[in-house]
């Protein structure tokens, strides 16, 4: 059977989806189209290209925070590494390492968790659904959490670190269109752990006092309840994604 329009559209859709999710996945899919066993071919190519990217991206100014590092800064989920979403400029790795190190020095055993950062290649290639993570100079960090036994190292409330919102007062009206997702249906699914305020406050303070950091996003009700104050801690606006489930860091 020849390439019908429908098949071309299907493959274009798969290419677009894989590219949007992982940047290099689309290319792996196109190459796999020439192989007899397409799925096996895709997976093999994707893994090979991803590993090669670990070594090639630094030539273009981006390095990965890998999932096999240990120490105070670690990636929250293997999914972020597998999807090539933990790349950033080397200076940002230093900033995050330093801040995570500060928190761990004050409270040994603390693990700061990286969520989405950026893709390995290109400026202006957005890391959806984040609109701004397109230049390797931005990263998201998870909050710290605790239960009745105390701090839970390496644990976030949500399995991917996002969308487990700390509810609090907001001045935002319900507007549309908006990235300020409520996800009310999802909230009861998250485990009953609570924000660990001491470490979360220490991490935000360490980042805010770092001259290399230009801006942090954190929801105003958390800035207040954590007793934080810094000109660098901003509100992202009512149409942007909520920041009462994670911390967003911008490099200067
Ligand atoms: Zn962000």
Residues 35, 155, single domain; the answer is no
Domain boundary among 34, 58, 82: 58
Look at residue 1 and tell me whether its pLDDT is greater than 70.
no
Residues 27, 81, single domain; the answer is no
Residues 75, 13, single domain; the answer is no
Measured in Å, residue 18 CA sits from the centre of ligand 1 at 21
Residues 149, 185, single domain; the answer is yes
Measured in Å, residue 248 CA sits from the centre of ligand 1 at 4
Look at residue 229 and tell me whether its pLDDT is greater than 70.
yes
Q: Check residue 65 and give its pLDDT.
A: 98
Look at residue 99 and tell me whether its pLDDT is greater than 80.
yes
Q: How confident is the model at residue 2 (pLDDT cuts 50, 70, 90)?
A: low
Cα dihedral sign, 99-179-86-82: positive
Instruction: Check: CB of residue 141 under 8 Å from CB of residue 125.
Output: no
Look at residue 220 and tell me whether its pLDDT is greater than 60.
yes
User: Could you tell me what percent of the chain has a pLDDT over 90?
Assistant: 81
Q: Check residue 19 and give its pLDDT.
A: 95
Look at residue 57 and tell me whether its pLDDT is greater than 60.
yes
Measured in Å, residue 199 CA sits from the centre of ligand 1 at 19
Residues 33, 121, single domain; the answer is no
Domain boundary among 58, 82, 102: 58
Measured in Å, residue 89 CA sits from the centre of ligand 1 at 15
Measured in Å, residue 161 CA sits from the centre of ligand 1 at 12
Residues 130, 148, single domain; the answer is yes
Give the position of tokens 């998250």.
Answer: 190
Q: How confident is the model at residue 3 (pLDDT cuts 50, 70, 90)?
A: low
pTM tops 0.85, yes or no: yes
Residues 65, 51, single domain; the answer is no
Domain boundary among 15, 42, 58: 58
Separation CA 140–CA 8 (nearest Å): 36
Domain holding 75, by residue range, is 61-251
Measured in Å, residue 138 CA sits from the centre of ligand 1 at 6
* Total count of domains within the chain: 2
Measured in Å, residue 216 CA sits from the centre of ligand 1 at 9
Measured in Å, residue 44 CA sits from the centre of ligand 1 at 31
Q: Check residue 103 and give its pLDDT.
A: 98
Q: Check residue 211 and give its pLDDT.
A: 97
Measured in Å, residue 209 CA sits from the centre of ligand 1 at 19
Residues 39, 142, single domain; the answer is no
Q: Report the CATH number at residue 78.
A: 3.30.1380.10
Separation CA 65–CA 97 (nearest Å): 10
Residues 146, 241, single domain; the answer is yes
Q: Check residue 175 and give its pLDDT.
A: 75
Q: Check residue 126 and give its pLDDT.
A: 85
Residues 109, 167, single domain; the answer is yes
Residues 39, 22, single domain; the answer is yes
The pLDDT of 55-83, averaged and rounded, is 96
Q: Check residue 237 and give its pLDDT.
A: 83
How many C-beta neighbours within 10 Å does residue 200 have? 22
Residues 142, 226, single domain; the answer is yes
pLDDT, the chain, mean: 94
Instruction: Check: CB of residue 167 under 8 Å from CB of residue 118.
Output: no
pLDDT digits (tens, 9 = 90+) for 123-166: 888 888 888 899 999 999 999 999 999 999 999 999 999 999 99
Q: How confident is the model at residue 173 (pLDDT cuts 50, 70, 90)?
A: confident
Measured in Å, residue 33 CA sits from the centre of ligand 1 at 34
Instruction: Check: CB of residue 252 under 8 Å from CB of residue 201.
Output: no
Measured in Å, residue 110 CA sits from the centre of ligand 1 at 22
């Amino acid at each position: 059977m020849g390439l019908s329009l429908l098949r071309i559209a299907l493959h274009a859709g798969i290419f677009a989806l894989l590219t949007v999710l992982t940047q290099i996945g689309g290319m792996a899919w196109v190459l796999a189209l020439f192989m007899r066993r397409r799925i096996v071919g895709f997976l093999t190519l994707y893994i090979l290209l991803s590993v090669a990217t670990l070594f090639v991206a630094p030539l273009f100014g981006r390095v990965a925070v890998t999932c096999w590092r240990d120490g105070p800064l670690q990636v929250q989920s293997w999914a972020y590494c597998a999807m090539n979403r933990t790349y950033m400029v080397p200076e940002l790795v230093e900033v995050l390492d330093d801040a995570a190190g500060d928190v761990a020095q004050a409270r040994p055993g603390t693990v700061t968790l990286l969520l989405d950062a950026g893709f390995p290649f290109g400026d202006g290639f957005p890391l959806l659904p984040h609109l701004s993570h397109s230049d390797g100079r931005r990263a998201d960090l998870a909050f710290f959490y605790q239960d009745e036994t105390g701090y839970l190292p390496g644990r976030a409330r949500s399995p991917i670190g996002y969308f487990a919102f700390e509810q609090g007062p907001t001045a935002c009206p319900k507007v549309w269109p908006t990235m300020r997702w409520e996800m009310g249906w999802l909230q009861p699914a998250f485990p009953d752990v609570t924000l660990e305020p001491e470490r979360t406050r220490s991490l935000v303070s360490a980042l805010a006092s770092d001259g290399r950091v230009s801006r942090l996003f954190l929801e105003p009700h958390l800035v207040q309840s954590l007793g934080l104050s810094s000109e660098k801690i901003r509100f992202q606006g009512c149409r942007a994604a909520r920041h009462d489930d994670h911390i967003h860091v911008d490099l200067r």
